[in-house]
Homo-oligomer: A and B are copies of this chain.
């Protein structure tokens, strides 16, 4: 059965497995002090244009969000995020578990708006009772967002300007960063992002790795004893090599970018195909996730032939369904999907 279920349904890009095998028997020190972690960090610093950056490797996205946010915030601070932000909705309360509130702002196609952020901060500082409230201490956003949308350079710069004015660290969740960077709509490079953010992560799990996210503090601005906090939050791998080798491979010969571009090419064709079949879009995204509205009968028939993701109920008889491409999506998958859709629609007409 073909799968457009998500961007983590296949294993790792074969090059990564190959490198894991090649290096497997080298005895290496643990806890990310090995030469592959060092090499990967160096290559990431280069790719970001940040020679001073602190680079750390964590295992998954929710973990990374919780570790970064809880180690940057002061005790009395919360993190600002869009209502639809992953930290607010799909992480089982991982941020609150560390003692911090997620302060929500409205979402505009999954994105924060600089003006609304500024208004929030002005209201907060104008409030005579603010000592009884959670202090906003950081801004969280994702790029691409949970809806696959992208901030433009202008939009992110505007948000970064508000952040600087109010001394709010700006944190970008890049679980799908590669798919953003390679989108035709993106007008930012990795280096632009590094310049605008105070901390961000380069997603591995959803972009070709078995697991792993690379956290970047671009100006060497990691909190003191960050690795101890990583350990304290149960996020340190004994065999750090697992992360180092994979990220070293991803950032060798631009593999990370190449496999991301492939996923985007597949997404463009997927979108085209869905349009051709007359399927209504819930939201058109410029990245690797496409959200469409399916009549429930059609959704059920589709599920017998292709793996896709339930997003949410649209109304009593329709469902929002997500199709995702990834580095592992093939042209054959798309051709098969076309066949499947044709057959389902054909059947529907009889």
**Chain A residues at the B interface, C-beta cutoff of 8 Å:** 1-3, 5-6, 8-12, 14, 17, 20-21, 23-31, 59-67, 70-71, 74-76, 78, 89-94, 96-102, 123, 126-129, 131-135, 205-206, 210-211, 224-225, 227-229, 231-239, 241-242, 307, 310, 312-313, 328
Contacts and interface: CB of A to CB of B under 8 A. Distances in A.
Nearest to A104: B104
A75 B234 contact: no
A238 B9 CA distance: 9
A101 B100 CA distance: 9
A177 to B, nearest CB: 15
A132 B92 contact: yes
Contacts of A2: 27
Contacts of A63: 234-235
A23 B11 CA distance: 8
How many copies of the polypeptide does the oligomer hold? Answer: 4
B24 A9 contact: no
22 contacts: A9-B29, A10-B25, A10-B27, A10-B28, A59-B237, A60-B234, A62-B231, A74-B225, A76-B229, A90-B133, A91-B231, A92-B229, A94-B232, A96-B100, A96-B101, A96-B134, A131-B231, A134-B232, A205-B237, A206-B238, A233-B234, A234-B235
Contacts of A123: 313
Nearest to A14: B24
A27 B14 contact: no
A67 B25 contact: no
Nearest to A23: B11
Contacts of A236: 60, 62
Contacts of A228: 76, 92, 131-133, 135
